[in-house]
Amino acid sequence: MCGIVGYIGKANAASILISGLKRLEYRGYDSAGMALLDDERILITKSTGKVSNLSEKARTNWSPELFQRATTGIAHTRWATHGPPTEANAHPHLDQSGEIALVHNGIVENYRALRSRLEGKGHHFYSETDTEVLAHLIGDCDKGDLFQAVCDALHQVEGTFGIAVLSSREPDRIIAARRGSPIVIGVGDGEAIIASDASAILAHTQRVMYLDDNDIANVTMDSVEIRDLNNVPVTREIAELGLDASATEKGGFAHFMLKEIHEQPEALTNAIRGRLDLQLGSSVLAGMGTSQRELAELSRVVMVGCGTSLHAAMVGEYAFEDIADINAEVQQAAEFRYRNPILGNRDFVIAISQSGETADTLAAVKEANQKGAFVMSLVNVVGSTIARETGRGVYLHAGPEISVASTKAFTCQVSVLLMMALKLGRGRRYSREEGMKLAREIESIPELVARVIGKNDLIADIAEGYTKDEHAFYIGRGPMYPVALEGALKLKEISYIHAEGYHAAELKHGPIALLQEGTPVIAVACDVPGKDKTLGNIEECRARGARILGIITEGDDEAAEVMDEFISIPRTHPLVATIPAVVALQIFSYHVARLRGCEIDQPRNLAKSVTVE
């Protein structure tokens, strides 16, 4: 969603801000803006649409000399929440005096009350945003010390924020703060760069400081001083990012999504490396921070997540019940805290999130912590809010995922969930022999996925036959049911074809009414328990004229026979098979979207990381 970049140093701020915003484009946004400090004035340019529009407009609005000489500024990409994506609503927003500029991620929940109070004091607002209210509030609190003014204003704010504030009255600093919305500060040599996401910092420095909730930072070109909102100094360590800038570049692929699909064998190798114990038929997941004995005492696994991560959780549900012999359930993170879940200290809550920033998943974590459950996270982004909030957890090590449509994060999530289930299972009834067999299958996942990626051209040819469709149905059962859901999600996200996933048996309870001659049904019918029933469901669809594309197991002639066309995946353990099956569907969606000319990496209306509820 929204992105923040701020720069203070000796270099050309405008170029650094624009290239930082470009690196944040993947998060999803619909307008952008930038404020530069020049000669003790704040100058702002905003535009709707892409960062490239902003860049062009800034070069028209501002002289080349100004563009070159300004060395301090803040910038933002906005994903509209309060008011449509217009220039007036885009950030940065100014306070009443026009001397303080603010960029903000998050939501000021009490902005209406604050706005009417400020209007009562004579403030005028030009936008519909909560952010403009916060800018005015800071201005209203400013009695000559910007840092103190931001502290005082934030004390009055209910809601979430990641902010960067600039004042022409104090040109040697940028104030940054966070509550519930990440801020990272890159500490360079005579310069600092503030961002909502480390990818905007990578090109400048590897040395970063992460703000914690309610931290406020005074950032100058030579120093970063952090205090809490009561103005008491706090110490935050400098961490090394350990990421190469090339990890956030396309590296010769037409799209990030294609690159990330192809990266899966490597990402999966990283996710699995050192985590399997082939001798004991178990796994070693130190981040879980618990002994086999404690694990044996757990009575239930509850997984929470959103979107693709929710689908990974659904595969995990089958894995925990089947392998670990423990009650497992999945709850949509958005619903979790509102249903007042029944949780205790024998419940094992796993928060699953690629970004580690999804607001609903974070809220679920807080609720589970509150109720005394045993909470851990399964997150990709190191140092992200959910990872920090849970304290214990397992990182995916999938590397940065830039494409909005998640691919490698899903397959790594499922792989780690399988390893978690194995660890729990070995403390229960899963035998060493079974464990050794499964561990070997898990070890082979990167190779299985590489074989499916090897079918890219074949899948691209098949995809050509689906570019004119406006509807598609995906079906599966058992662990292939969440795979069907994920396949449908991938297709609708990036190709804008209306695609729905159903349990194969559920189709005849309503959706089958929509089948007509030629309607595509994508059947995930791998050779796993329940396949015969799925083949029966496929016949029901065929009898109504549907066109069937099957995902089947290599060498399964019986399944091949009922399909109009098929993509085959290697034979493996039924739970492991979910991974190559989903990869086939990722590649299929990618090519359908490509052939339809869609903007694959940043689909309309979508955001990579959804930081609002």
**Contact residues: ligand G6P, CB under 6 A:** 306-309, 353-355, 358, 361, 404-406, 606-610
Q: Is 294 exposed, middle or buried (0-12, 13-18, 19+ CB in 10 A)?
A: middle
Based on CB atoms, which residue is closest to ligand G6P, 598 or 606?
606
Q: What is the DSSP string of 223-290?
A: -EEEEETTS-B-----EE----GGGGS-TT-SSHHHHHHHTHHHHHHHHHTT-EETTTTEE--GGG--
| Pairing relationship of beta strands 471-476 and 520-524 according to DSSP bridges | parallel
CB of 63 to ligand G6P, least distance (A): 39
Which of residues 260 and 322 has its CB atom nearest to ligand G6P in the complex? 260
Burial class of residue 586, CB neighbours in 10 A (0-12, 13-18, 19+): buried
CA 22 to centroid of chain Cα atoms: 17
**CB-nearest residue to ligand G6P:** 307
How many CB atoms neighbour CB 71 within 10 A? 20
> Least CB distance from residue 493 to ligand G6P, whole Å?
7
Peptide bond into 92 cis (omega under 30): yes
**Residue 332 CB, nearest distance to ligand G6P (Å)?**
11
Q: Cβ of residue 576: shortest distance to ligand G6P, in angstroms?
A: 21
Whole-Å CA distances, 418 to 78, 114, 390, 414, 541: 37, 49, 20, 6, 32
Query: Which stretch of DSSP H or E encloses residue 76?
Result: strand 72-78
Which residue's CB is nearer to ligand G6P, number 366 or number 533? 366
CA distance linking residue 452 with residue 441, whole number of Å: 16
DSSP 180: B
Question: Closest distance between ligand G6P and the C-beta of residue 412, in Å?
Answer: 11
Q: Compute the distance between CA of residue 583 and CA of residue 455 in angstroms, rounded to an integer.
A: 10
Q: How far apart are CA 595 and CA 437, in angstroms?
A: 41
Nearer to ligand G6P, 140 or 260 (CB): 260
Q: Which is nearer to ligand G6P, 118 or 363 (CB)?
A: 363
- CA quadruple 193, 196, 201, 206: dihedral positive or negative? positive
Nearer to ligand G6P by Cβ, of 186 and 307: the residue is 307
Where does residue 540 rank: exposed (0-12), middle (13-18), buried (19+ CB within 10 A)? middle
Supply the minimum distance, in Å, between the C-beta of residue 355 and ligand G6P.
3
Catalytic: which of 408, 492, 531, 608? 608
Which residue's CB is nearer to ligand G6P, number 115 or number 608?
608
Minimum distance from CB of 87 to ligand G6P (Å)?
26
Helix (H) and strand (E) counts for the chain?
Answer: 21, 26
Amino acid 24 reads L
- State the minimum distance, in angstroms, from the CB of residue 356 to ligand G6P: 7
Is 608 designated active site? yes
Say what angle helices 146-155 and 130-141 make with each other, to 10 degrees: 130
CA–CA distance, 31 with 90 (Å, rounded to integer): 6
Select 211 or 398, whichever has its Cβ closest to ligand G6P: 398
Is residue 412 annotated as part of the catalytic site, yes or no?
no
185: exposed, middle or buried (C-beta count within 10 Å: 0-12, 13-18, 19+)?
buried
Q: Order the strands of the 192-195 sheet from edge to edge.
A: 41-48, 31-38, 72-78, 3-8, 192-195, 184-187, 207-210, 239-240
Q: How far is the CB of 488 from ligand G6P (least distance, A)?
A: 13
Closest approach of Cβ 459 to ligand G6P, in Å? 21
The active-site residue out of 2, 141, 151, 541 is: 2
Which residue number, 272 or 404, has a Cβ lying nearer to ligand G6P?
Answer: 404
Task: Give phi and psi for 272, each to the nearest 5.
Answer: -95, -30
- With respect to ligand G6P, which residue has the nearer C-beta, 356 or 574? 356
Query: What residues are labeled active site?
Result: 2, 608
